[in-house]
């Protein structure tokens, strides 16, 4: 029996949430979950429809993107996940989707401006849209370079991956992450909803202002600050 049974089960469940939440069509998208002690992660196999997946199909890969266990080829985006796990030591899950509104913003090559408390409950910054990758990066090891494009975009803007758990890759689509695969899935759904709200707000009022700093701070801190009082404190 696989040593990774629990990890595979966890990432299977995370993947199955994506169609339930309306974030993926057919084989689009993928979720992974890491076992940080063993420096491996489990990820969806490439191009398999969600309703044909089983936990045993999940592929075990190390943080350099090398397959350790699995009968199927892992997601074509595996190396992007690997780069994020390798560089960000506190994440336990990564999700990639082509969800409709988030992808529309990525195609528009625009950051999603922070316009309301729904956004501020989850992050204090605009949701960054990384520039489309350079020709060199695309023609090189494309998926690995996508990981570096994400790392660099956060660094260039002075953002911490522990506070900003989502990004758009310009002309492409969103990636999210978090302490667990479950949290990364949650972030993908929140991103899609925030992307839709921002799109609609700007249709209603093209001059709608950015959220004021005091509200950004308040909503973030009541959920995530030292004196957070949202939730059950666990």
Out of 3, 64, 156, 230, pick the active-site residue: 230
Positions in the binding site for a copy of itself (CB under 8 A)? 25-28, 45-48, 72-73, 76, 98, 100-101, 103-110, 115-118, 132-133, 135, 138-139, 142, 171-173, 186, 189-190, 193, 196-205, 208-209, 211-212, 214-215, 218, 222, 229-233
Residue 229 falls in the annotated catalytic set: no
Q: Which is nearer to a copy of itself, 86 or 218 (CB)?
A: 218
- Reduced to 3 states, what is the DSSP secondary structure of residue 196? helix
Q: Which is nearer to a copy of itself, 139 or 160 (CB)?
A: 139
* Shortest CB 85 distance to a copy of itself, Å: 20
Out of 35, 57, 62, 121, pick the active-site residue: 121
Residue 230 falls in the annotated catalytic set: yes
Instruction: Provide the annotated active-site residues.
Output: 121, 230
């Amino acid at each position: 029996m696989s040593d990774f049974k629990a990890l595979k089960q966890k990432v299977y469940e995370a993947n199955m949430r994506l169609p339930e939440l309306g974030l993926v069509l057919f084989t689009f998208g993928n979720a992974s979950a890491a076992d940080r002690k063993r420096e491996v992660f489990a990820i969806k196999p490439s191009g398999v429809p969600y309703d044909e997946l089983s936990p045993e199909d999940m592929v075990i890969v190390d943080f350099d993107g090398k397959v350790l266990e699995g009968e199927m080829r892992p997601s074509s985006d595996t190396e992007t996940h690997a780069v994020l796990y390798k560089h960000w030591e506190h994440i336990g899950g990564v999700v990639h989707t082509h969800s409709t509104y988030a992808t529309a913003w990525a195609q528009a090559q625009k950051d999603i401006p922070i316009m309301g408390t729904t956004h501020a409950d989850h992050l204090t910054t605009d949701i960054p849209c990384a520039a489309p990758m350079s020709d060199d990066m695309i023609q090189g090891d494309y998926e690995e370079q996508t990981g570096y494009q994400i790392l660099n975009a956060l660094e260039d803007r002075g953002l911490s991956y522990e506070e900003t758990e989502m990004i758009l890759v310009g002309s492409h689509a969103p990636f999210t992450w978090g302490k667990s695969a479950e949290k990364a899935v949650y972030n993908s759904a929140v991103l899609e909803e925030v992307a839709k709200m921002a799109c609609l707000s700007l249709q209603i009022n093209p001059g709608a202002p950015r959220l004021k700093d005091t509200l950004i701070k308040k909503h973030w801190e009541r959920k995530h600050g030292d004196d957070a009082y949202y939730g059950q404190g666990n």
